[in-house]
A and B are shown apart, each in its own frame.
Chain A
Amino acid sequence: MKPTTVPGPPQMALVVHPDLGVVSALQSALAQKGFTAIIARDLPTALLAITQHYLEIAVVASHLQENGDGWPLAGVLHLVFPRAYVAVIDRVEPDILTLQAAINYGVREIYQQSTPAQDLVSSILATFEKSSPGARPTVQ
């Protein structure tokens, strides 16, 4: 018998970026893939969202109010949601220290801000679905 998808609770994503254009584009791209995306443009709003939702994907800008302050937030998201896919958006191409920061904060991938939202979400979901085969349960 063909497996049937069991409808579960909505899959939640958090997008934290100070640029309204970026958050809107990512929210829309995630919604097209079936995710409910919560958006935050600053740290307090992001922290509030963390207390109110169970997140499976988080995309955080490396720069919120000041340079690099998005990294500790990414680290917090990794600690609170250990199975979530946490990605960081940076303005420039990563260097060795950026890659080290990503490893040490538990970030799965770094994307450049110039990456189109659809491509970014497709790339995240390709890895997310591979690492979470049980994310959408099925019955036989």
Chain B
Amino acid sequence: MRKRSILIVDDEDNVLHTLRMVFENEGYEVATASSCHRALEILDDGRSFDAVLTDLNMETEDIGLEVARAAGKRKPKPAVVICTGFATMENSRESLDLAVDYMAHKPVELSALISALNRLISRHRDLRGRR
């Protein structure tokens, strides 16, 4: 079976580095972007990901929602996960409206995040396989 792939977007190098190690250790093929701008470029390149995991506050407040929006329009749609230390009513509401698949509040419990991503990716692949 094809390796699971994930695009991780966060403007903090240490977070990006840690998450890359964690997900590579889980057997994922990992791409990273340290800004919303770079993430959108990667998504526009047409490369396909099983999941996109993004921070919210990067170049500006809540700009990670743009990554979630762009990822949600991709076909096939990847699992879209938001990981934030600054959840508000507004960004949570918008995440729900964008049909984000999972929202984690920092500090993130890694085992819960990995488990959620594994479940979401298996489900997305299963649904695609049934069509």
The chain A residues found within 8 Å of chain B, CB to CB, are: 79, 82, 95-96, 99-100, 102-104, 106-110
| CA–CA, A113 and B99, complex, Å | 23
Report B's interface with A, CB cutoff 8 A: 87-89, 92-93, 95-96, 99-103, 105, 116, 123, 127
Give the residue of A79, A96, A103 whose beta carbon is less than 8 angstroms from that of B123. A79
**CB of A86, distance to nearest CB on chain B (Å):** 12
Task: Find the A residue at minimum CB distance from B102.
Answer: A104
B127–A104 CB distance below 8 A: no
Q: In the complex the two chains form, is A104's CB within 8 Å of B116's CB?
A: yes
Closest chain-A Cβ to B87's Cβ sits at a distance in Å of 5
Report yes or no: A99 in contact with B102, Cβ–Cβ below 8 A. no
Q: Which residues of B contact A106 (CB under 8 A)?
A: 101
Report the 8 A-B pairs with minimum CB-CB distance, sorted nearest first. A99-B92, A103-B103, A100-B103, A96-B87, A96-B92, A103-B96, A103-B100, A104-B102
Q: A104-B102, A104-B103 are in contact. Are A99 and B127 (CB under 8 A)?
A: no
Tell me whether B92 and A100 are in contact (CB under 8 A).
yes
Q: List 25 A-B contacts (CB under 8 A).
A: A79-B123, A95-B89, A96-B87, A96-B88, A96-B89, A96-B92, A99-B89, A99-B96, A99-B103, A100-B87, A100-B103, A100-B105, A103-B92, A103-B95, A103-B96, A103-B100, A103-B101, A103-B102, A103-B103, A104-B116, A106-B101, A107-B96, A108-B96, A108-B99, A109-B96
Q: How far is the CA of A54 from the CA of B94 in the complex (A)?
A: 29
Check A82 against B87 for contact (C-beta < 8 Å): no
Residues in B with CB closer than 8 Å to A100 are 87, 92, 103, 105
Closest residue to B112 on the A side, CB-wise?
A104
- In the assembled complex, which residues on chain B have CB atoms less than 8 Å from the CB atom of A99? 89, 92-93, 95-96, 103
Bound CA–CA A99/B96 (angstroms)? 7
> Are B123 and A102 in contact, CB atoms less than 8 angstroms apart?
no
Q: When the two chains form their complex, are residues B96 and A102 in contact, meaning their CB atoms are under 8 A apart?
A: yes
A55-B2 Cα distance, complex, nearest whole Å? 32
Kindly report which residue of chain A lies nearest to residue B124, judged by CB atoms. Answer: A82
Determine the distance from Cα of A63 to Cα of B101 in the docked complex, in whole angstroms. 23
- State the Cβ distance, B6 to closest chain A Cβ, in Å: 18
**Across-interface contacts of B88 in A (CB, < 8 A):** 96
Complex CA distance for A109 and B98, rounded to whole angstroms? 11
B contact residues around A103 at 8 Å (CB): 92, 95-96, 100-103
Shortest Cβ gap from A108 to chain B (Å): 8
Kindly list chain A residues whose C-beta atoms are within 8 Å of the C-beta of B123. 79, 82
A95–B87 Cα distance when bound, in Å, is 11
User: Does A82 contact B103, Cβ atoms closer than 8 Å?
Assistant: no
